[in-house]
Amino acid sequence: MCVRCLDLTRRSLLIGGGAAAAALHTGVASARIRPADTVPLIGPGFKPTDEDEKGLWHDMDRVEEEIADTNLLVTDPNITGYLRELIGTVGGPAAKDFRIYLMRIPDFNAMMFPTGFAVVFSGLLLRMRNEAQLAGVIAHECGHFLRRHEIRSWRDQRRKTDLFSIGAMLAGIGGAGAGVYLGNYVQLAQLGTLLSLFKYSREMEAEADAMSAKLIAQAGYDPMEISTVWLQLIGEEQASAAYRGKHRQHGSLFDTHPSDDARMADLRADALELKVPGKVYNDYRERYLAAIGPIRPMLLDDQVKLNDPGASEYLLQTLAQDGWNGLLRFYEGEVWRLRNRPAFHDEERAAQSYAAAVVYPDAPADAWRWHGIFLLKEGRTAEAKAALAKYLAMKPGAPDAPWVRQVIG
Amino acid sequence: MRKSGVALALASTVGLGACVQTRQYADVQFTPPQGEYKLLVLRPDVTVGSLTTGGMIEPRAEWTDEARANIVAALKAQQASRGGNVTIIEHRNALPGVPEQELADVERLNFVVDESIVEHKYLGDYLPTKRGRGLDWTLGADAVKLGRQSGYDYALFLHAEDQVASKGRIALGLVGLAGCFIGFCAPNIGGAEQLDYASLVDLKTGEVVWFNVVDAASQVPGIKFGDLRTPEGAAQMVERLLGRMKPGQDVRSEKARR
Residue B84 has pLDDT above 60, yes or no: yes
Buried b (16+ CB within 10 A) or exposed e, B147-171: bebbebbbbbbbbbbbbbbbebbbb
How many structural domains does chain B have?
Answer: 1
In whole numbers, what is the pLDDT of chain A averaged over residues? 87
Residues of A within 8 A of B189 (CB-CB) are: 165, 169
In terms of residue numbers, what domain contains B138?
Answer: 4-257
Q: How far is A41 from chain B (nearest CA, A)?
A: 22
**Contact criterion met (CB below 8 Å) for B203 and B143:** yes
Cβ–Cβ < 8 Å for A151, A56? yes
Residue B36: the pLDDT is 87
Q: How confident is the model at residue A29 (pLDDT cuts 50, 70, 90)?
A: low
CA atoms within 13 A on the CB side of A292: 23
CA–CA dist A178, B57 (Å, integer): 33
pTM: 0.82
Q: Which pLDDT value is given to residue B7?
A: 61
Average pLDDT of the segment spanning B17-22: 73
Lowest mean pLDDT among A247-256, A394-403, B34-43, B207-216: A247-256
Please count the CA atoms within 13 angstroms of the CA of A172 that sit on its side-chain side: 21
Query: A20-29, A58-67, B15-24, B208-217: which has the minimum mean pLDDT?
Result: A20-29
The confidence score (pLDDT) of residue B12 equals 53
A31 touches chain B (CB under 8 A): no
- List all residues of chain B from 43 to 62 with a beta carbon under 8 Å from chain A: 45, 47, 49, 52-56, 58-62
pLDDT score of B186 more than 50: yes
pLDDT at A145: 95
Q: Which residues of B touch A176 (CB under 8 A)?
A: 179, 182-184
**What does the pLDDT average to over A38-62?**
91
Averaged pLDDT, A206-229: 93
Query: Across chain B, where does the E strand assignment appear?
Result: 20-26, 37-51, 57-59, 84-89, 137-138, 154-165, 193-202, 207-217
- Contacts of residue B45 in chain A, CB cutoff 8 Å? 62
Residue A1 pLDDT level (bands cut at 50, 70, 90): very low
Question: Mean pLDDT throughout A41-53?
Answer: 92
Structural Rg of chain A based on CA atoms:
27
Residue B62 sits at the vertex; the CA angle it makes with A149 and A115, to the nearest 5 degrees, is: 30
- Does the pLDDT of residue A58 top 60, yes or no? yes
Please name each of the domains of chain A with its CATH number: 29-274 (no CATH), 293-408 (1.25.40.10)
- Stronger pLDDT, A52 or A246, i.e. the higher one: A52
Nearest CB among B65, B92, B186 relative to A169 is that of: B186
Q: Which residues pair with A102 in a beta bridge?
A: A120
Biggest CA-to-CA distance, chain B: 67
User: Taking Cα atoms as reference points, which of B104, B34, B31, B100 lies closest to residue B251?
Assistant: B31
- pLDDT, residue A9, reads 41
For residue B6, the model assigns a pLDDT of 64
A186 CB neighbour count, 10 Å cutoff: 17
Alpha-carbon span A330 to A356, nearest angstrom: 8
Distance CA A146, CA A51 (A): 19
Higher pLDDT, A90 or B218: A90
3-state secondary structure B44-97: EEEEEEEECCCCCEEECHHHHHHHHHHHHHHHHHHHHHCCEEEEEECCCCCCCC
What does the pLDDT average to over A115-121? 95
pLDDT above 60 (res A5):
no
Do the Cβ atoms of A252 and A195 come closer than 8 Å? no
- Return the H-helix or E-strand segment holding B10: helix B4-14
**pLDDT for res B71:** 95
Percent of chain A with pLDDT over 70: 92
Q: What is the DSSP letter of B28?
A: T
pLDDT per residue as tens digits for the range B97-141: 899 889 989 999 999 999 999 999 988 888 998 888 889 999 999
Between residues A382 and A263, the one the model is more confident about: A382
Q: Please state, in angstroms and rounded to a whole number, the distance separating the CA atoms of residues A353 and B46.
A: 56
Most confident of A2-11, A142-151, A186-195, A269-278: A142-151
- pLDDT tens figures, A149-188: 989 989 998 999 889 888 888 888 777 777 777 777 787 7
pLDDT value of residue B17: 46
Distance CA A60, CA B142 (A): 28
CA B23 to chain A, closest CA, distance in angstroms equals 28
Looking at residue B100, its pLDDT comes to 87
